[in-house]
Amino acid sequence: MKISNSEEIKNIAKSGKIPRISGNEIKISYANDIWDGPLEGICLWKGKKYYFYCVEDDPKDYETYKPGFPRRFVLIDLTSEQIKEEEYWKDLFDRGIENFYELSKSEKEFPINLNRLVGWFTLK
C-alpha cells in the first residue's frame, strides 16, 4: 500500500502518543515489502485484519546495522476501501501477473487517518 503521509505516521509512532501492543499478539498474514524481515503488510490482531508498517529500523545508522534489531511497527486500522485495494494487489501478485511490478506503479496512494493508528509493536 502506498501511504502518502508516512513521515507523519512515523513521528506519531515514536512520540508515545499511541500505546504499545505486545508483538506476541500479532500474526503476520503476508508482507508486501521485506528487507531482512517484514517491513509492511497485513497482519491479524485479536481476529481482525490490520496493516502493519515499519516506522523505525536501526535508529543509529545503517553502517552498523545488525539483522535482528527489533524494528518498530505501527498497527493501522484500514478502511474497507483500503482493505479492498490491498487485497486486489495481493491477488494480482499471487496469480503471478506477468507485468505486476509495472502495474503496481499505478497503485493508489492513501493518506492514513491518524485516528486509525491503533498502536505500535516490535517483533522478535
Residue 77 is which amino acid? D
Amino acid, single-letter form, for residue 91: D
Confidence of residue 67 (pLDDT cuts 50, 70, 90): low
What is the C-alpha separation between 30 and 113, in angstroms, rounded? 23
Confidence of residue 29 (pLDDT cuts 50, 70, 90): very high
Going from N- to C-terminal start, the domains of the chain cover 2-122
**pTM > 0.85: yes or no:** no
Answer with the residue of higher pLDDT: 100 or 80. Answer: 80
